[in-house]
Each structure stands twice: as C-alpha cells, then as structure tokens.
Amino acid sequence: MALRDHVEFISRAAQVRAPHLLDVGCGSGTLLGLMKGRGFEVRGFDSSAEAARIAKSESNVDVEVGTRLQDAGFADESFDLVTLFHVMEHVTDPRSVLAEVRRILRPAGRLVLQVPNIESWQFRLFGVRWYGLDVPRHVVNYSNQAMQRLLAESGFKVRRTRHFNLRDNAPALASSLFPSLDPISRAVRQRQRSRTEPVALAWLRHALYLGVVVAAQPFAIAESAAGKGATIMIEAEKVSSKL
C-alpha cells in the first residue's frame, strides 16, 4: 500500500513490454519484488550486502553491492528504466551518478527519481527541524527547479513531475512534529541503548504515529496541490545528445 505511488509512477514510465529495470539504492528489494510481479525484468544496486541477501532470499532479486554505481560495471544501454528513490540527496557528485545512469540507459530510456523538496511548505514551517533534511546523511538539498536544471544539463528531458507521495509526505510532517514517535529514529535509539522498549509502549507509539500521519494527510495534499510538496518525483527521458 505504501509503495503504490512508486509502482504506478514507474509502470506509467515504462515504454516497452517487460522493461529492464534497475533500482539504485534498492535496499532489501521490496519495490523490485512488486515490479517483478508486474512483469518487469529487475536488478538492484545497493551499498548493503545484508540488504542484497534479503532481496535475494525474499524476492529472488539479484542486487549488485558497491559504494558507487560506476563500479557495478553494467553494460552500455542495458536498461529501459533506472530508478533512484531518495538517493541523489546522499551523493556528493550527482553529475557523475546521472552520467552513469545515462550511459546504462537505452535510447529514450527513462529515469525516475525522488528527492525531498527544500522549497516545500514543510521546510518553511520547520526549518532546520524538518525531517526531510536528515542531517548529516543528506548532503545536497534540491528544489524542483534545481533538480530539473541538473537533469537537463546531464542529458535528460523531464516528462512528468509529482509532488505528492503516500509513503513520504505525511510521514515527514508527522516525524517533524513528533520526532520521538518516528519509527526509524526509535529503532536507532534502541540499538544505541542496546535495549528494546516494552511491547505495550511500542504499540502505543505505533498507534500514535499512525494517527498523526493520517491527520497530516490533508496538509500534505494541500502543499502538493500548490506545487510545494515535501517530495519531488520526476520521470525524465534520456535524450540523444546533451542540451
């Protein structure tokens, strides 16, 4: 359910039957498993060997492991689609990443990416406390205009842009309002303290967080309708020559 927007956006971007899809930063391969179920030929790339193991065991998806996409050694023009969900904000040299994506995409192949939006209403509301900044893990913050310019300069033509995402927009607002309820932050804190919170308390926090996420949906929809959503999802086409 949470990945429905991703699945539909990717499916619409597909230009051929049984497209070859590479998901960069695929994690444990949940999205790739869903796309495989839709008839896509899928591969993944991730920095985590453990995530690659899970992707293989749970979804039968092959994942290359490495720190740079360039090191994977994919052949020229070997994919119809490349996806990068919440990857670009983590890399210090985004142009080199996009150059590699362009190399491995087939002619008129499509790139789908998603990043937090530094011009969102949420950032204006919370500033440095906005969950989407995720300092220090995020090293570059993008606006829609900045990302579109970067794509154009890297040899891509933007086809679609979307500002709403069910999995990310309202949860980012909820986590900004109540950081102590954020599931990821809670898991990190528990690992650091080497202890697990009581089951009843964990379920209470889950329920409270879900309630805040549901309550945040109208705001997330409104900011997205105004073109100021918390995330930017873009479909871009590889052009024959850089503009």
Q: 3-class DSSP state for residue 139?
A: coil
Of the chain, the end-to-end C-alpha distance in Å amounts to 38
- What phi-psi label fits residue 3: left (phi over 0), alpha (psi between -120 and 50 degrees) or beta? alpha
Whether 242 shows a pLDDT value over 60: the answer reads no
Q: Report strand pairing: 105-116 vs 231-238.
A: antiparallel
Q: What is the 3-state secondary structure (H, E, C) of 104-150?
A: HEEEEEEEEEEEEECCCHHHHHHHHHCCCCCCCCCCCCECHHHHHHH
Residue in the block written with tokens 């990302």 = 147
Kind and range of the H or E run holding 160: strand 156-162
**Cβ-defined contacts of 180-187 (< 8 Å, 24+):** 180/205, 181/205, 181/208, 181/209, 181/212, 182/131, 182/209, 183/209
Identify the residue with better confidence: 109 or 201.
109
Beta strands 231-238 and 156-162 are: antiparallel
Residues 6+ apart with CB under 8 A from 128: 135
Q: How far apart are CA 122 and CA 175, in angstroms?
A: 11
Domain over 4-238 is classified CATH 3.40.50.150: yes
- Look at residue 81 and give its three-state secondary structure: strand
Q: Could you tell me the two tokens for 64?
A: 């290359």
Answer whether residue 196 shows pLDDT above 80. Answer: no
| Confidence check: pLDDT of 98 > 80 | yes
Per-residue pLDDT tens over the stretch 61-79: 999 999 999 999 999 999 9
- Could you tell me the CA-to-CA distances from 72 to 64, 67, 82, 136 in Å, in that order? 7, 9, 14, 26
**195 or 158: whose pLDDT is higher?**
158
Q: Give SS3 for 65.
A: strand
pLDDT-based confidence at residue 16 (cuts at 50, 70, 90):
confident
Give yes or no for residue 243 having a pLDDT over 60. Answer: no
130-151 pLDDT tens trace: 999 988 889 999 999 999 999 9
What is the sign of the dihedral through the CA atoms of 219, 224, 226 and 227? positive
Under the banding of pLDDT at 50, 70 and 90, the label for residue 183 is confident
